[in-house]
Amino acid sequence: MKNKKLILAAAIIYFIITIILLTIPGSDLPKNDWLDKIWFDKWVHIGLFAIWVWLWCLYANSTASASSLKKIFIYITITGICYGVIMEFVQRYWIPHRSFDTGDIIADAVGCLLAFFYCSGRYIKK
């Protein structure tokens, strides 16, 4: 029981951290040309969302029945992708010096899907 609460707390805290990171005004973000050349921003989005989905799937794995895990993992992944899309609209309309970026949505979805496939292979018994 204690482990379930710890995993849930980690998932919630990480969710809050991602909200903070995704709503930092653009003027407060570092500007380096070489980071743009290696698509650093996209790698960050992939990582942020992969960890987000992994934490929620880890929590689901500790609470749900084995027979419902795949369905729950799919819901978590779809929720993660929707969260990424919503945050792009938030950045566009409410965060100074931030904009809507389709590339970020694609990176968010890639991160979500990577975590989904990892979690499906790791936690779902065949």
For tokens 């950045």, name the residue: 91
Percentage of residues of the chain with pLDDT beyond 90:
78
**Got the DSSP string for 14-83?**
HHHHHHHHHTS-GGGS---HHHHHTTHHHHHHHHHHHHHHHHHHHHHHHHS-GGGHHHHHHHHHHHHHHH
Q: pTM to 2 decimals?
A: 0.91
Express each pLDDT in 37-67 by its tens digit: 557 889 999 999 999 999 999 999 999 998 9
